[in-house]
Amino acid sequence: MALRLRSARGSDAPVIAELHIASWRDAYRGVLSADFLATGIEAALSAHWQATLVGRRRPGAVVVAMAGRHLAGFVAAWRDGVNCHVDNLHVRPGMRNAGIGRALLGFAAQRLQDQGAVSADLWVVAANQGALRFYLSLGAEVEAPVTRQTFGQTVVDRRMYWPSISTLITACALSPQLR
């Protein structure tokens, strides 16, 4: 699969929101409220991505993976001091396990390392066992579960972290590549 990574633009907000919605509806059925997934998610994530890509800029990167003219995945990572906080990493359902998430994560981590980040972290919904396995396979350390709020939804999350962002970048580069 030919994949092109590029910085997200303001005009990407609707397709990023659409992919984010599809990803959550697939991954979090039975975890987030059915009403939120059916209706509330659309307004919340559309507004979020419009504000993120068109509004005030934060230090970091939002990167999209394009397969031809179609959005295959995206990552949003912000620099918080010397830490790279991965806020979102989503791959279109049906395209997972093809190396897209790994490519996006490694690319964003390298960008933030270039901006001065020395460590990395992210939060994973504890029920998302596939995501937990993915990050552990990339050398993440994991903390105990905590209850948090996400878009008004109560979830049990786990913080995954890499004390050295170089460890994450190397793990992404050493993993199977896209073909």
Spell out the domain ranges in the chain.
Answer: 4-174
176 pLDDT tier (thresholds 50, 70, 90): low
Residue the block writes with tokens 């990050």:
135
For domain 4-174, give the fold: Aminopeptidase (3.40.630)
Answer whether 89's CB lies under 8 Å from 105's CB. yes
SS3 string, 10-56, reads: HHHHHHHHHHHHHHHHHHCECCECHHHHHHHHHHHHHHHHHHHHHCC
Q: What is the mean pLDDT of residues 119-141?
A: 95
With left for phi above 0 and alpha for psi between -120 and 50, is residue 44 left, alpha or beta? alpha
pLDDT tens-digit series, residues 60-103: 999 999 999 999 999 999 999 999 999 999 999 889 888 999 99
Q: So what's the pLDDT on residue 179?
A: 36
Cα separation, 50 vs 32, whole angstroms: 22
Give the mean pLDDT of the chain. 92
Q: So what's the pLDDT on residue 2?
A: 82
Residue 57 has pLDDT above 60, yes or no: yes
